[in-house]
Structure 1
């Protein structure tokens, strides 16, 4: 489940950083200083709102989580990330273009807002990772529920999460890639 949350963090962060860096080059209507300061404030607010918003929707199915059966379809981390990014590529492009366009009014503000959303998603995935470590089980969303819920791990179609052992799959708690120790 944390993989789906984390899938949007990197593109939002990088697109936001590029848009903010490009936006600083444009003087804008408000001037660079005001634009960057407003962008920094929006970065912090967006990161906090995205990281802490909707935690109850993520916690509720955790209480009802059941052990994954052999008939549940659970997909690899790389497939989940690729599917999420492919499904949301147009929204990411539109957000990037909007952040670039906003630089003509307030330089770097839109880019920093976008980057703040990416950081917030990363923080939310880290929080989910702590939930997984505390419960000593990875949380999964069935693939058919994930597709029907438009890629949202806490959508209306998700009735309960599935759990596996902490060492199952190719994702570590929090959705990051599992690090494999080198054989000695």
Structure 2
């Protein structure tokens, strides 16, 4: 391909990156909030929180599935010059760029317990559960198609402060990805040496079209979990 090399991040890894922080922060906020009587009482607060948990998990798990499907249908093969970002790097950059948002959400969930004990925390945990479910849905598609989908890191959009992501250097450490093309046009794996603020939405308006590789490419399993 004539396209220059790009750093590619796994779509499923980006989706999954926020699941654990939201889940554990939500459960912590819910447990702390349940110690408060609140304006409505613990029983009403926890029942309301359970309903919020289910509704939020279902909504987050299904939102933008159509957009994912359209981008998957239009995916192009990754080029030999492209680099595959490590799972750990993708997760670390996502969480680092959103640490203040996560802290704010945690504090808001705690504060809501003065009205509805535990409800805000369970809502937050529901968002984390929904992200896990959506990543699992992507993983099932990846196994069915025997294809992994990636998005160019530089086109994920501005960071939370509205800054354009900076270019970082990358070093190649891998061989051609399985199924991504011949030995002359398969992508390489890499570990960026700098820090890149990374957009949260692989299906958002700032995202480019997806790239595809074989099922064995990169260091993350289908669905974005660690390979075993």
Note whether the superposition's TM-score is higher than 0.5: yes
CA-to-aligned-CA distance 1:55-89 (integer Å, 9 cap, x gap): 11111110011111022233110000000000111
Partner of 1:125: 135
Partner of 2:206: 157
Q: TM-score, normalised by structure 2?
A: 0.76
Matches within 5 A, 1:59-70: 59-70=69-80
Matched residue SS, 1:141: strand
Matched residue SS, 1:40: helix
Matched residue SS, 1:74: strand
In structure 1, list runs of 5 or more residues that go unmatched: 180-184
Q: Distance in 1 between matches of 2:99 and 2:80?
A: 32
Runs of 4+ in 1 over 4 A off after TM superposition: none
In structure 2, list runs of 5 or more residues that go unmatched: 1-10, 159-197
Q: Is the 8 A contact 1:67 1:164 kept in 2?
A: yes
Partner of 1:169: 218
Structure 1 residues 41 and 16 mapped into 2: Cα distance closer, same or farther (>3 Å)? same
Partner of 2:177: none
CA deviation after TM superposition for structure 1 residue 53, in Å? 1.2
Partner of 1:19: 29
Q: Is the 8 A contact 1:7 1:85 kept in 2?
A: yes
- Higher Cα radius of gyration: 2
Greater per-residue helix proportion = 1
Match of 1:50 among 49, 57, 60: 60
Match of 2:126 among 105, 116, 126: 116
Q: Is the 8 A contact 2:57 2:130 kept in 1?
A: yes
Q: Distance in 2 between matches of 1:80 and 1:152?
A: 13
Match of 1:39 among 34, 49, 59: 49
Matched residue SS, 1:176: coil
Partner of 1:182: none
Greater per-residue strand proportion = 2
User: Is 2:118 the partner of 1:136?
Assistant: no
Highest relative contact order (Cα 8 Å, sep 6+), 1 or 2?
A: 1
Q: Is the 8 A contact 1:26 1:104 kept in 2?
A: yes
Partner of 1:73: 83
Aligned CA RMSD, in angstroms, stands at 1.1
Q: Distance in 2 between matches of 1:57 and 1:63?
A: 10
CA deviation after TM superposition for structure 1 residue 147, in Å? 4.8
Q: Distance in 2 between matches of 1:23 and 1:8?
A: 22
